[in-house]
């Protein structure tokens, strides 16, 4: 019965198309169960203790992130915050949107996870970003509080990440190529336009080309037309009733299938919605124009719209504060070293036969050779002893096959049964076998998870689920 509060530090690093940010948070956890109850370790407080300035993402030339400069920048922020990489126990590095597609994104991720501490996970991927931005913006909390469907649009430089929450739970997440920096302007000249925006320009029959001076030939008004077209496209993405604007006919057909009750907007462009500036191109892009068009549109001009708690910081806060969850507090593990990184999930059902499970593992091993895997199952609500024993017998029989003798036994269950199941498994396996059995975590096919060092006197573990299934 350890009732004392513990804290650990989590980092969020967001390397976006336009900006790079770092935050550090102090996460407090505590056993919130009462006397005589089984422990329940919960997060009691998340407090951002340091926010970096918003840096422009260093780029070497158009298509590459300057990995060294980014690393330098992040190390500088650690120093300013007075935090050593080894102090960090959880969090996420997110390379977002267009940046993630740049050729050296992988190298950057590697360079950064090396310095970012024990347990910072490197992740990218549109859906995960959308979820993190949605959580960081406050949309999830708003949805939980009101019990309504809340969609958050995180409109950045290269992409817009949309996440729909229903009653506080993620329902849908999508990512579309709309952002404030798809067209850039340098000394009054158009210096860059993305491939997708070029298509749209063509479809609209506009005359915008790189190198043109924006103050000649009504280019500003053409840019405004594009900004409104982008706004219509965003509206189409969240409104199942609307039809696709024809200039976007070649875009992938990703949109929400449920209509939100409330809309919030975060990301850099969200700041341009409220801001009134005389210089429309102060940031050297069309972000301000896009913000203005959104302000005039049905996205914000309805009773559905609510101002977001966080704007430009939403993704980085999501990465720092919402990328992990705490497992159930009755779990079982032996002979293990933590953290465990990039464990791949093999989805099973509790009532699968041994041969089915073996076939699934074989399939996995032929594809990924030596990757670490975990078996994940929904589990049984309030199982009987017999169910626990039979399932443990089955799973242990699979892991006792000679070809899997050296594999760690990692089991992830959603329902609260991991301690009983872990103990039953261990009784059927060699005493030196590495066994980890945790519950309270929902994951599925295609997910990767990281398991951090146990917290709260070893009673629970923080877990990061890295890709998401809906």
Which residue, 317 or 455, is less far from another protein as judged by CB?
Answer: 455
Burial group, residue 250, by CB count within 10 angstroms (0-12, 13-18, 19+): exposed
Q: Which is nearer to another protein, 289 or 455 (CB)?
A: 455
124 versus 331: smaller Cβ distance to another protein? 331
What is the phi/psi pair of residue 31, to 5°?
-80, 110
Q: What single string gives the DSSP state of each residue in 147-207?
A: TSEEEEEEE-SS-EEEEEEETTEEEEEEEES--TTSEEEETTEEEEE-HHHHHHHHHHT--
Q: Whole-number minimum distance, CB 461 to another protein, in Å?
A: 16
Q: Yes or no: say if 276 and 319 are a contact pair by the CB < 8 Å rule.
A: no
Beta bridge partners of 91: 11
CB of 457 to another protein, least distance (A): 11
Q: In this complex, which beta carbon is closest to another protein, that of residue 183 or of residue 388?
A: 388
Residue 40 or 358 having the CB closest to another protein:
40
User: Which residue, among 43, 60, 49, has the nearest Cα to 22 in the 3D structure?
Assistant: 49
> Residue 419 Cβ, how far from another protein at the closest point, in Å?
4
Q: Are 453 and 338 in contact (CB under 8 A)?
A: yes
CB of 386 to another protein, least distance (A): 8
Smallest distance from the beta carbon of 38 to another protein, in angstroms? 5
| Choice between 271 and 389, CB closer to another protein | 389
By DSSP bridging, strand 88-95 and strand 121-123 are parallel
Contact 466, 123 (CB under 8 A): yes
Could you tell me the smallest distance in angstroms from the CB atom of residue 426 to another protein? Answer: 7
**Interface with another protein by CB under 8 A: which residues?**
1, 35-38, 147, 167, 330, 332, 381-385, 388, 416-420, 422-424, 426-427
Using the minimum distance from each CB to another protein, give the nearer residue, 171 or 332: 332
Least CB distance to another protein at residue 147 (A):
5
Q: Which is nearer to another protein, 369 or 384 (CB)?
A: 384
**In this structure, how many other beta carbons lie within 10 angstroms of the beta carbon of residue 359?**
12
How many residues would you count in the chain?
Answer: 470
Q: Please tell me whether the peptide bond between 339 and the residue prior to it is cis, using omega within 30 degrees of 0.
A: yes
What does the buried/exposed string (b/e) look like for 120-141 if buried means 16 or more CB atoms within 10 Å of the residue's CB?
A: bbbbbbbbbbbbbbbbbbbbbe
> What span, in angstroms and rounded, lies between the C-alpha atoms of 430 and 446?
29
Compute the least distance from the CB of residue 326 to another protein, in Å.
17
In the complex, the smallest distance separating the C-beta of residue 209 from another protein, rounded to whole angstroms, is 53
Cβ closer to another protein: 139 or 343? Answer: 139
C-alpha dihedral sign at 257, 262, 266, 269: positive
The token duo for 49 is: 């203790």
Q: How far is the CB of 29 from another protein (least distance, A)?
A: 19
- 98 or 439, CB closer to another protein? 439
- CB half-sphere exposure, 157, CA atoms < 13 A: 22
């Amino acid at each position: 019965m350890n009732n004392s509060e513990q804290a650990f530090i989590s980092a969020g690093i967001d390397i976006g198309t336009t900006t790079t940010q770092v935050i550090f948070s102090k996460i407090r956890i505590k056993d919130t169960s009462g006397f005589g109850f089984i422990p329940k370790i919960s997060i009691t407080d998340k407090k951002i203790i340091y926010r970096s300035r918003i840096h422009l993402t260093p780029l070497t030339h158009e298509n590459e992130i300057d990995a060294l400069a980014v690393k330098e920048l992040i190390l500088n922020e650690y120093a300013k915050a007075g935090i050593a990489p080894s102090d960090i126990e959880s969090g996420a590095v997110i390379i977002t949107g267009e940046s993630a597609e740049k050729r050296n994104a992988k190298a950057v991720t590697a360079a950064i996870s090396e310095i970012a501490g024990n347990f910072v996970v490197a992740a990218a991927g549109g859906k995960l970003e959308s979820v993190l931005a949605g959580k960081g913006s406050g949309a999830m909390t708003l949805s939980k509080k009101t019990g309504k469907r809340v969609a958050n649009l995180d409109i950045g430089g290269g992409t817009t990440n949309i996440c729909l929450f229903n009653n506080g739970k993620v329902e849908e997440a999508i990512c579309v190529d709309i952002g404030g920096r798809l067209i850039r302007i340098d000394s009054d000249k158009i210096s860059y336009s993305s491939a997708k925006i070029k298509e749209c320009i063509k479809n609209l029959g506009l005359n915008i080309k790189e190198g043109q001076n924006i103050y000649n030939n009504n280019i500003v008004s053409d840019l405004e037309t594009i900004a409104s077209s982008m706004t219509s496209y965003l509206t189409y993405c969240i409104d199942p009733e609307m039809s696709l604007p024809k200039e976007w006919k070649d875009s992938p057909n990703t949109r929400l299938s449920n209509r939100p009750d409330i809309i919030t907007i975060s990301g850099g462009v969200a700041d341009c919605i409220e801001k009134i500036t005389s210089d429309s191109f102060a940031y050297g892009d069309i972000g301000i124009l896009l913000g203005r068009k959104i302000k005039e549109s049905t996205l914000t001009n309805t009773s559905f719209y609510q101002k977001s708690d966080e704007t430009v910081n939403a993704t980085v806060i999501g990465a720092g504060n919402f990328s992990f969850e705490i497992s159930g507090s009755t779990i079982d593990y032996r002979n293990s070293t933590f953290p465990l990184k990039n464990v791949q999930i093999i989805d099973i059902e509790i009532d699968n036969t041994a041969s089915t499970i073996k076939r699934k593992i074989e399939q996995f091993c032929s594809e990924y050779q030596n990757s670490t895997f975990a078996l994940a199952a929904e589990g049984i609500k309030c199982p009987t002893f017999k169910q626990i024993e039979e399932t443990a017998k089955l799973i242990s029989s699979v892991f006792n096959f000679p070809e899997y003798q050296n594999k760690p036994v990692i089991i992830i269950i959603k329902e609260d049964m991991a301690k009983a199941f872990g103990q039953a498994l261990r009784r059927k396996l060699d005493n030196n076998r590495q066994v980890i059995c945790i519950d309270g975590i929902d994951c599925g096919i295609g997910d990767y998870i990281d398991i951090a060092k146990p917290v709260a006197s070893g009673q629970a573990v923080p877990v990061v689920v890295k890709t998401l299934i809906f």
